[in-house]
Structure 1
Amino acid sequence: LPKSKKFPVKTILAILLFKQYYNLPLRDAQHYGRKFFGANIHYSTLHNWEKKLNLEELTNHLLKKLQKLPYASTQADSTIITNKKRAG
C-alpha cells in the first residue's frame, strides 16, 4: 500500500470502501469521511488513492478475511430476534 503523510492509510481505505459499497461520488465520500471518520480528506486525494488501489481486489480480500471469523464474532443472528418476538 502507498503511504500517506497527512492521514492514516486505514482511514483513507475505510472512506474509499464506504464509497465503493454505497456507490457514491467522490464529493459525497469526502463529506461522509468528515462526518463518520473525522477526516477532512479532499476529494482529489481520494481520487488519487482510488486510482492507485484496486478496490475490487481489496474488497474481495477483506470479505475472505471476514468469512474466516468465528460465527460468535459476528452480529446477532436475525432468526434469534424473530423467534423471540414470536414467542413473546
Structure 2
Amino acid sequence: MLNRNQPHLQKIRDQWGYQPEELLTPEQMRVYIAQLDLIAVSGRKGKVKRQTLSAADINADQGIEVGSFDQTIDEMNQIQEAIIWDAD
C-alpha cells in the first residue's frame, strides 16, 4: 500500500526512512491462508472438506485481504460486548 505514487505516501516513506528498494508491488507478494475448504481429492468423486492453503487477494489500494482476521475480530468484539454489557 505504501508503494503508490501519492504525495502523502511519499511523506510517510520519508518520515519512516523507507528506501525505494524496500517497497514491494502486489505482483511481488504471495500470501496464503490455512483454512478449511472444499477441495478435489484424487480417487474420490466430488469435493471434500480439508485443511488447505488458499491464496489471499492482494490489492495495491487496500492491502492484503484476509477474511479470517475479520471473522476473528468480529468474534472477539462479540465476546467483549458480552463481557461489558452482560449480553446473552
Q: Which has the higher strand share?
A: 2
Instruction: State the structure with more CA Rg.
Output: 2
After TM superposition, the score normalised by the length of structure 2 is 0.32
- Structure-1-length-normalised TM-score: 0.32
Structure in which a larger fraction of residues adopt helix: 1
